[in-house]
């Protein structure tokens, strides 16, 4: 990268062959810039954070995932147009796709009817078929990662999720993704395949219908319900409930494949007019920067989301969604310039049988699922932890005032307990 003073402190002038216009924000992968090719094409360039750039596991996975992502075709993905995994700071460029995210569209227009839900479901099934056909699994499909372009929905950020997941702070035993859309096997830190994306597709359509498959509340509560409780399909039109119930099956092998979903969503195979199902029905003017540019400049979980401020070049017509963030998640809404502090998106999540532990920039939340206790970092004097037998972890929060708060987490496998023990010191060093 070439650096210069134009446009802001430490703003690079070029990244690869792209001229940087301004910084859009910072996400789990790193800093995101609005840039243009020499021919004037707008792109979003994502540059890896320094700690990721120095992680050989990330570089290896990033190189493989980018190669696979560039081969993904189909009508319903945002293409990866360029990348340099071997650069001092690895980067990835994706094409600019104009349009609001599904999150923003739903906030502006409200729930979709059955016809639009079926067309959206078919489009997302086609996108997943293209992604899975190239050996990729998205791992973080959600309304904020879907652009409602004039010619139909586009799925974003399918090329780097696995690379981010391979880093030390997202090792086996921690969850990667967005609570409420995580498949049970994902929430429990197990290996995932394309069936996890089908589960997320079902949750996305429930949200598009005006509901929430696993209710509201804390990330831990959402993850617990996705593992142990049936989805809430009350907002879904009657005829679609069996299809979404199949998508949201607890066992991966019981979920339909994307190709089968096409027959379930549009059994008559009647084509719809181009763009008719997806174009917003409210008059809006989109700002020049890409609406899907990743950013992580949101307040931490459990706090009320303040309204976004209008960017300097005009109003932001769509409010940002309030999706909770998990390790190295790649949010997809425009955010204020400058992004978040470096450690704002570092999160450790451990979900045991009936108890949970969440460590992030706000502090530590632990205890029985549904009755957790939260401590801010200002309240915490120290944290101790130790293995209790072959599959149990005890974590004790020692506040400055009051009694210590213990929590015991039961791992399903010894390997998960070992991963917890390896990851805990890394995340605690970031905040204590």
Mean pLDDT, rounded, for 382-404:
91
Three-state SS at 216 = coil
Q: What is the mean pLDDT of residues 233-252?
A: 97
DSSP per-residue codes, 40-68: --EEEEEEE-HHHHT-HHHHHHHHHHHHH
Q: Who's near 298: CB < 8 A, 6+ residues apart?
A: 305, 320, 322, 325, 331, 335, 340
3-class SS of residue 346:
coil
Element (H, E) at 205: helix 194-208
Segment holding 21, helix H or strand E: strand 18-26
DSSP tag of 254: G
Quick one: average pLDDT of 382-389?
91
pLDDT score at 29: 63
State which fold the 2-95 domain adopts. Answer: Phosphorylase Kinase; domain 1 (3.30.200)
CATH of region 348-431, choose from 3.40.50.720, 1.10.10.10, 1.10.540.10, 2.30.29.30: 2.30.29.30
**Mean pLDDT throughout 373-380?**
91
Rounded CA gap, 14 and 291, in Å?
21
The two structure tokens encoding residue 255? 């979920």
Q: Structural domain boundaries of the chain? A: 2-95, 102-265, 348-431
Pick the closest to residue 121 from 211, 231, 226, 198 (CA basis): 198
> Which is more confidently placed, 293 or 346?
346
**pLDDT grade for 344, boundaries at 50, 70 and 90:** very low
d(CA 208, CA 121): 10
Q: How far is CA 252 from the centre of its chain?
A: 20
User: Looking up tokens 């189909």, which residue turns up?
Assistant: 74
Measured from the Cβ of residue 235, the count of other Cβ atoms closer than 10 Å reads 14
pLDDT (tens digit, 9 = 90+) per residue, 183-204?
998 888 788 899 999 999 999 9
- Looking at the annotation, which residues are catalytic? 140
Q: Do domains 2-95 and 348-431 have the same CATH topology?
A: no
Which stretch of 16-25, 249-258, 346-355 has the lowest confidence by average pLDDT? 346-355
Exposure of 364 in the CB half-sphere (CA atoms within 13 A): 26
Residue-level pLDDT at 238: 96
Say what the pLDDT of residue 152 is.
Answer: 87
Identify the pLDDT of residue 260. Answer: 95
Give the mean model confidence (pLDDT) for residues 288-317. 35
- The contacts of residue 64 (CB under 8 Å, 6+ apart) are 163
What crossing angle do the helices spanning 114-133 and 258-265 adopt, rounded to 10°? 160
175 neighbors 187 (Cβ within 8 angstroms)? yes
Q: What is the pLDDT of residue 346?
A: 60
Q: How confident is the model at residue 178 (pLDDT cuts 50, 70, 90)?
A: confident
250 carries a ligand binding annotation: no
Reported as a single tens digit per residue, the pLDDT across 408-418 is: 998 878 877 88
Alpha-carbon Rg of the chain, whole angstroms? 21
Residue 93 has pLDDT above 70, yes or no: yes
Which segment of 43-47, 124-128, 380-384 scores lowest on mean pLDDT? 43-47
Reduced 3-state DSSP string for 361-411: CCEEEEEECCCCEEEEHHHEEEEEEEECCCCEEEEEEEECCCCCEEEEEEC
CA distance 383 to 82: 44
Q: Exposed (0-12), middle (13-18) or buried (19+): which is 56, by Cβ within 10 Å?
A: exposed
What single string gives the DSSP state of each residue in 281-315? SS-----SS-TT-----SPPTTSPPPPPPPPTTS-
Q: Which fold has domain 102-265?
A: Transferase(Phosphotransferase); domain 1 (1.10.510)
Provide mean pLDDT across the span 304-311: 36
- Least-confidence region, from 29-33, 44-48, 115-119, 242-246: 29-33
Pick the closest to residue 213 from 256, 260, 181, 240 (CA basis): 181
| 337 has pLDDT over 80 | no
| Structure token pair of residue 305 | 């989301």
More confident residue, 293 or 21: 21
Burial of 67 from C-beta contacts in 10 A (0-12 / 13-18 / 19+): middle
How many CA atoms does the CB half-sphere of 273 hold within 13 Å?
3
Looking at every residue in the chain, the average pLDDT score rounds to: 75
Going 115 to 117 to 118 to 120, the CA torsion angle's sign is: positive
Q: What was the pLDDT predicted at 372?
A: 85
């Amino acid at each position: 990268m070439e650096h210069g003073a134009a446009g802001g402190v430490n703003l690079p002038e070029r990244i690869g062959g792209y001229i940087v216009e301004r910084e859009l924000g910072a996400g789990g992968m790193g800093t995101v810039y609005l840039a243009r090719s020499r021919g004037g094409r707008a792109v979003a360039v994502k540059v890896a954070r320094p700690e990721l750039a120095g992680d050989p596991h990330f570089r290896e996975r990033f190189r493989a995932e980018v190669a696979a992502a560039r081969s993904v075709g189909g009508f319903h993905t945002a293409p990866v147009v360029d990348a340099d995994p071997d650069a001092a700071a690895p980067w990835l460029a994706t094409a600019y796709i104009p349009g609001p995210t599904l999150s923003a569209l739903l906030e502006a227009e409200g729930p979709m009817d059955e016809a639009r839900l079926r067309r959206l479901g078919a489009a997302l099934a086609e996108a997943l078929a293209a992604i899975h056909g190239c050996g990729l699994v998205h791992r973080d499909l959600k309304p904020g990662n879907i652009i409602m372009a004039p010619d139909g929905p586009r799925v974003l950020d399918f090329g780097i999720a696995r690379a981010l997941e391979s880093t030390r702070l997202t090792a086996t035993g921690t969850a990667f993704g967005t609570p409420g859309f995580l498949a049970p096997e994902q929430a429990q830190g197990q290996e995932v395949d394309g069936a996890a994306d089908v589960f997320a597709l079902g949750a996305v359509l429930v949200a598009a219908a005006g509901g929430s498959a696993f209710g509201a509340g804390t990330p831990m509560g959402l993850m617990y319900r996705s593992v142990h409780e049936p989805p809430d399909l009350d907002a879904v039109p009657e005829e679609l409930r069996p299809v979404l119930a199949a998508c949201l099956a607890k066992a991966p092998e019981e979920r339909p494949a994307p190709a089968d979903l096409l027959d379930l969503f549009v059994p008559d195979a009647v084509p719809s007019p181009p763009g008719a199902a997806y174009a917003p029905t409210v008059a809006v003017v989109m700002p020049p920067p890409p609406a899907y540019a990743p950013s992580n400049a949101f307040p931490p979980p459990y706090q009320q989301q303040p309204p976004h401020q209008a960017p300097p070049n005009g109003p932001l017509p769509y409010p940002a969604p309030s999706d909770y963030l998990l390790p190295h998640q790649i949010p997809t809404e425009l955010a204020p310039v400058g992004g978040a502090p470096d450690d704002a998106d570092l999160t450790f999540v451990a979900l045991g049988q009936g108890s949970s532990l969440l460590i992030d920039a706000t502090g530590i939340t632990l205890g029985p699922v549904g009755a957790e206790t939260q401590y801010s970092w200002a309240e915490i004097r120290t944290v101790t932890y130790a293995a209790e037998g072959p599959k149990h972890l005890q974590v004790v929060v020692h506040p400055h005032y009051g009694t210590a708060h213990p929590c015991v987490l039961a791992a399903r496998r010894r390997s998960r307990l070992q991963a917890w023990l390896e990851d805990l010191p890394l995340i605690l060093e970031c905040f204590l």
